[in-house]
Structure 1
Amino acid sequence: MQTPDTSLRLTVNGQPRMARDAAPHTTLLGWLRDQGLTGCKEGCAEGECGACAVLMARSNEDGTTRLDSVNACLVLLGTLEGQEVITAEGLGQPGALHPVQHELAVRGGSQCGYCTPGFVVSMAAEYYRPDRAAGKAGHGPNGFDIHALSGNLCRCTGYRPIQDAAYALGTPESGDSFAQRLAQPAPTPQPIQLQTPAGEFHRLSTLNEALDLLTAHPDAKLLAGGTDWAVEVNLRHARAGVTIAIDSLPELRELRQTQDFVDIGAGLNLSEIERRLGNSVPLLAEWFPQFASRLIRNSATLGGNLGTASPIGDSPPVLLALDAGVVLVSREGERIVQLSDFFSGYRQTLRQPGELIKAVRIPLPLAPITGFYKIAKRRFDDISSVAVGIALELDGETVKRLRIGLGGVAATPIRGRAAEAALEGQVWNEKNVRAAARLLRQEGTPLDDHRASAAYRAAMLEQVLLKFYVEKSGLEVSL
C-alpha cells in the first residue's frame, strides 16, 4: 500500500494540479472554488441543481475515453488521485468559446448566469457522446438527448432557449481537442492514503486490501458513488474517522451473465450498467431513466443504493420484483442474501462487520411482463413518494409467478406478498386483479410526510396494480 500522505495529484483543464492537505470530507466543488475556478457553483450541495457540474474523463470498455458529467458537490476529493477533471472554464474562454457556450449565448440561454456553467458542462457531455442519433423519444433533430440536462435547474432563463441551443449543436469538428482526447486512454484510478487530523481516506488497489482494512476498522464508511454520503457531509456536517473508497476495485466492477443469473458489480455506476446491459433486463431498462438525473447516475451505484437501506430508494422495488440477491463478501468468503431478507429495519441491513456488497445477482430466466411505477411530485430527478416494481409470468391465462416490490410505504423496502399470493395460480383477469389490488393497498405502514399522505400512498398502491393490468393486458377498464 502507498505511503500515507496528505496531498493528491490530479489534472484539471489539462494542467497537473496538487491538492495539498486534502481532508477526507473535502469535496471537489469546495476545492475547485478555492483554486479560483468559480464557474463551478454551489446551489444546493446535494446534487439537485447541477450548478456544480464538471466533466470527468473515464475509460470505456474498448480503451477509449468518455466524458461523464457529475456533481462536483458529491465527489470527495480523495477519489480523484490521478484523475482528470474539466470545468466550464476549461471548455472555452471569452473570444474562444466552445460550440456549446456559443449556442447558449446566441440563443439567449443565459440570464443571471448562475446555472449556466453547469448547463454548459452537461450539454458538452452529450455533445461528445459518439452514438447520438435522431428519431428517439426526447432526442432532437441532431440526436441530442434533452434528458441529459434533467439534473440542471434554471430559475430565470426558461428552458426553451436552452433546449434550442442544445438542438442547434452539430457534431464536433475534426480538429476539436476534446474529440481528439476521447481517442486516448483515460487515467486509471490510483490508490491513495490520506491521514489527517480530520480522519483517514483510503483508496486501495485490491479487494483483499479493502477487506483487511475494513476488518481492522469495521465502522469505516464505505464510499462508492458518494451521492448519499456526500449529502450527509455537506448538509449535516457528517464526518467519518476512516473512509474506504471501493468504487474502483476491479472485483466490484464486473458485469457477467451465465445461464442462471446476471451479476452486476456493486462498484459500477448506473450509467455504466445501463450501457452494458442495454435492454437485456427490460425492467431495469425502464427504471434507469427515472432514477434521479444523468449527473447522479454517472456516479451512483447499486451497491450504494442498497447499502444505505433507505425505505425510499428507487432500486430496491425493482430488484425485489426481479427476485434479486445481494452478494456479500468478507475475509471469510462470500454469501448470498435474498434482497427480500436483506433489510432488517429502518436504515439497517444484514451486512455484518467486515462485509461489503460485492454484487447484485438477478436470477434467470426473467419474468417476461414487467413494469416500474414511480409516484413523485416531479417526473424526473425527484425522490419517490411511492415506487413499485412488478414482474409477472403467465402460463396461458393463469398467473404462474408474480413479484411486487414496494418502496416508500414502510420502514424498509418490502414485497407485496398478500397480493402476490392472491394472484398466483389464479386467472389473470380484472376481477382477480381488483381483489389483489385491494390487498396491495393494505401493505406496509405508510406515513404522512411532506411528500405524500399515508392515505395517498395506500391509494397509489391499489391504482398502480390496476394500471399495470390495463397496460399489460391491452384492455380498457375503469380505474
Structure 2
Amino acid sequence: MTHSPETPNTQLRLTINGEVVQLQNISPSLTLLQYLQQSGRTGTKEGCGDGDCGACTVAIIGEDANGNPCYQAVNSCLIPLGAVAGREVVTVEGLAKDRLHPVQAAMVKTGGSQCGYCTPGFIMSMFAAYYGGKLDDAAVEGNLCRCTGYLPIRRAAQLAISSASGVANETANGDVNESINGSINGSENAATHTASIGLLNESANCASDGVDHESVDLFDSESDPFRQRLTAATADLRSISYSTDQQQFYRPTELNHVLALLQQHPEATLVAGATDLGLEMSHHRRAFPVLISLEAVSDLKQIRRTEAGVEIGAAVPLSQIEANLHGVFPSLDEMLHWFAARQVRNRATIGGNIGTASPIGDLPPVLLALDAEVELVSAQGHRVMPLANFFKGYRQTDLQSGELIRAVHISTQITPSATRRFSQSYKVGKRGTDDISIVAAAFTVDLDAADQIVHARLAYGGVAATPVRAVQVEQMLIGQPWSWSTIQQVKPALQAAFTPLTDLRGTADYRRMLIGNLLEKFFVEINESQCINQAVHY
C-alpha cells in the first residue's frame, strides 16, 4: 500500500475538560502547558519545566496495558500540542463544579496544601490513580512539595482511595482511620466536622453523631461523570497532517506511511513520547520544521512474545512495558521502576530511550547486558543488529537516512551449557528517584554446573561517550570460576577499560570507583541469594 502526499490542514482539535477545542494556525510544538496558560487555564502550574517536579501534571485519556481507556498523569510542560490532538485532556479546573472531586475533598480534609503551588499537580496525579485503582506513594512519585508537607498529602491519597474502593474507617497502613464516607475519629469537634463535610458536599447534613453517610457518597460508579466519560472514550488518534507557516506536523497511523513521509521529508524529526524533545522545544527553543509523530502507529506499539523471547515495539510507552512484561526480565522491571517518574513513563518509549543515544540513559545498559537486538526499517527494507553495534558515538547511532527503530528484541534463552543465569542492574544517582544517573550498570553471567562462567555481559552508562560493554573483561571471565578472587583479578582491567569524565554529577575518579565496586556488589549479592535475577537500586 502506498501513500500519496497529503495536503496539510491548519486546524488541531482536542477536548479539554469535556469541551471540544479547535485550534487554528497554532504551532504544534507549543507545549500543552504553554497553551493552557495562554488560554487562561492557569490552574496548571509551571515549576521546573523539565518534567521533574510534577506541578504541571494533567491527565489525558490513554490506554492501559490491556488497550482499555484509562486516565494517565502526564507532564504538560513536555507534551507538544500535536501529541494531544484528538485526545481528551483533564486539568484541575475541570474536576470541580457543583462539588469537589473526592481527591480534592481528601486534600482539603487532611490539610494537604500549604503554599498551594504544587497542589494542582498532586491532585491530578491522584485523580489519574483514583481511576486506576493504585492510589499509593508511587502515584505521586513524580510530584514534589517544596514545603515538604508530604504526610498530609499521603493521608489524602489514602483517604481518597478508601472512598473509591468503598472502604470505611481503615487504610492500608492505619495512618488514616477515616474515609470520606466514614465518621471522624480523634479530637475534631462536631462544628469542625460539619465544616469539613460541608466542603465535601454542600448537601451533606451533620447528624448529632457525625455525618449523614448517604449524603456524602459523592461519586458512586454510576453517577461519576469522569468514570462515565472514561467508559465512553475512544481515542481519536486518526492520521493527522497539520501545517503552519513555519512547521509541518504529521501523525500517521501506518508504518509504511511513516516511511513514505521520511522519503518525502528526509530532514524530518521523529517523535513519540516527546519527553526528551519537549525539553529541546520548551527550554532550548529549538525549531523542528517537520515533525512526524509515531505514537499512533499500531505496528510500533505492540509487545509480542515468542518461544525465543520478546519483541517490544519502539513506540511502546515504558509504563506499558512495566505492566505487560512484569516478571519476564526482573532486572528490566526494577530499572523501569527507578526510571524518572510515573508521568514520564506514561509517555517515554523504549525506542526513544535508545534512539537518543544518551551516554547516561538508564535502559541501554540493561538491554546491552541482555544481548538485546534492535530492528531498523526503511522503505528499502529492514535489518536487525545487536544493540552493542548501534551506538557509534556521542548521541550518534547507526540509523541511516529514512530509517527508524521498529522494535527491540530480547532473548529469554540462556547459554546451552549453562545451568543458571544471574542478572542484576544498578542505578547510582544523587537521589533515589526521578534523577539522572551518575553511573548505570547491568551485569549478566551464566554459570555451568561447576560454577564456571560460560557467558558474561558487563554493561555501563555514564562512563563513556556511549552506553558500552566491557568486552575484553567479559572475555577474561569466560572459563573462570565464579569467585571473589576472579572478580579481584579482573577489577583493575575493568576500571582501566573506560575513561569517564568529571561533571557536576560526579568526578571521573568516583565513576571509576563505581565501575569496579558495582561488579563486586553484584558478586556479593549473588552469593547472598541464588535467585538474584533482579535489579537493585543503589
TM-score normalised per structure 1: 0.93
Report the secondary structure of 2:231's partner residue: coil
Contact 2:58 2:124 in 1 (8 A): yes
Superposed displacement of residue 382, structure 1: 0.2
User: What are the Cα deviations for residues 272-302 of structure 1, in whole angstroms up to 9, with x where unaligned?
Assistant: 1111112112121121111000110000001
How far off its partner does 1:61 sit? 5.8
Matched, 1:188 2:236: yes
1:96-120 residue CA offsets vs partner (Å, 9 max, x unmatched): 1111111112212111111110100
Partner of 1:281: 329
Residue type matched to 1:431 in 2? S
Q: Which amino acid aligns with 1:75?
A: I
- Secondary structure, counterpart of 1:272 in structure 2: helix
Question: How much does 1:37 deviate?
Answer: 1.1
Distance of 2:40 and 2:421 partners within structure 1: 53
The CA deviation at 1:305 is 0.8
Residue matched to 2:144 = 153
Instruction: Write the deviation string for residues 155-174 of structure 1: whole angstroms up to 9, x where unpaired.
Output: 11421211121122214332
Kept in 2: contact 1:64–1:182 (CA 8 A): no
User: Is residue 451 of structure 2 the alignment partner of residue 447 of structure 1?
Assistant: no
Please state if 1:163 is matched with 2:154. yes
Amino acid at match of 2:527: S
Give the % identical residues. Answer: 45
Secondary structure in 2 matching 1:183: helix
Match of 1:382 in 2: 435
In the other structure, the counterpart of 1:340 is 388
Change (3 A) 1:150 1:63: closer
Deviation at 1:436, TM superposition (A): 2.4
Q: Contact 2:464–2:498 at 8 Å: present in 1 too?
A: yes
Q: For residues 316-364 of structure 1, give each alpha carbon's deviation from its aligned partner in whole angstroms, at most 9, with x where no partner exists.
A: 1010001011100000111012111101111000000000000111123
Confirm whether residue 437 of structure 1 aligns to residue 428 of structure 2.
no
Aligned residues: 462
Residues of 2 paired with 1:217 and 1:387: CA distance? 36
Structural mapping, 1:251-266, within 5 Å: 251-266=299-314
- Match of 1:19? 23
Q: Does 1:371 align with 2:374?
A: no
1:98 aligned onto 2:151: no
Checking the alignment, whether the CA contact within 8 Å between 2:114 and 2:149 is kept in structure 1 is no
Instruction: Trace 1:305-320 onto structure 2 (pairs within 5 A).
Output: 305-320=353-368
Partner in structure 1 of residue 51 of structure 2: 47
1:351-430 residue pairs with structure 2 within 5 A? Answer: 351-365=399-413, 368-396=421-449, 397-430=451-484
**Which residue identity lines up with residue 186 of structure 1 in the other structure?**
T
1:115 aligns with 2:163: no
- 2:214 aligns to what? none
- Matched position secondary structure for 2:232: coil
- 1:141 counterpart residue number: none
Following superposition, the deviation at residue 62 of structure 1 comes to 4.9
Contact between 2:64 and 2:320, CA under 8 Å: does it hold in 1? no
Question: Shift in Å at residue 440 of structure 1?
Answer: 2.1
Whether the 8 Å contact between 2:273 and 2:317 is mirrored in structure 1 is: yes
Tell me the distance in 2 between the aligned counterparts of 1:180 and 1:440. Answer: 57
Counterpart in the other structure of 1:300? 348
Q: Which amino acid is the alignment partner of residue 391 of structure 1?
A: T
Tell me the SS of whatever aligns to 1:182: helix
CA displacement 1:70-90 (0-9 Å, x = unmatched) = 001111111222111111111
Q: Kindly report structure 1 stretches of 4+ aligned residues shifted beyond 4 Å.
A: none
Residues 303-322 of structure 1, C-alpha deviation per residue, up to 9 Å, x if partnerless? 11111111011111010001
What amino acid sits opposite 2:460 in the alignment?
A: L
Cα distance, 1:63 vs structure 2: 5.3
Aligned mates of 2:163, 2:348 — CA distance in 1: 29
Deviates more, 1:178-187 or 1:107-116: 178-187
Preserved contact between residue 403 and residue 420 of structure 1 (Cα < 8 Å): yes
Alignment of 1:123-272 (within 5 A): 123-130=126-133, 132=134, 144-169=135-160, 170-172=162-164, 173-174=220-221, 175-272=223-320
Structure 1 position 378, deviation (Å):
0.7
Higher Cα radius of gyration = 2
Task: Select between 404-413 and 151-160 the one with higher mean Cα deviation.
Answer: 151-160
User: 1:73-84, aligned counterparts within 5 Å?
Assistant: 73-84=77-88
Gaps of 5+ in 2: 165-219, 415-419, 530-538
Structure 2 Cα separation of the partners of residues 356 and 23 of structure 1: 25
Structure 2 residue corresponding to 1:473, chosen from 527, 532, 535: 527
Aligned position for 1:139: none
Please give the secondary structure, in 2, of the residue aligned with 1:82: coil
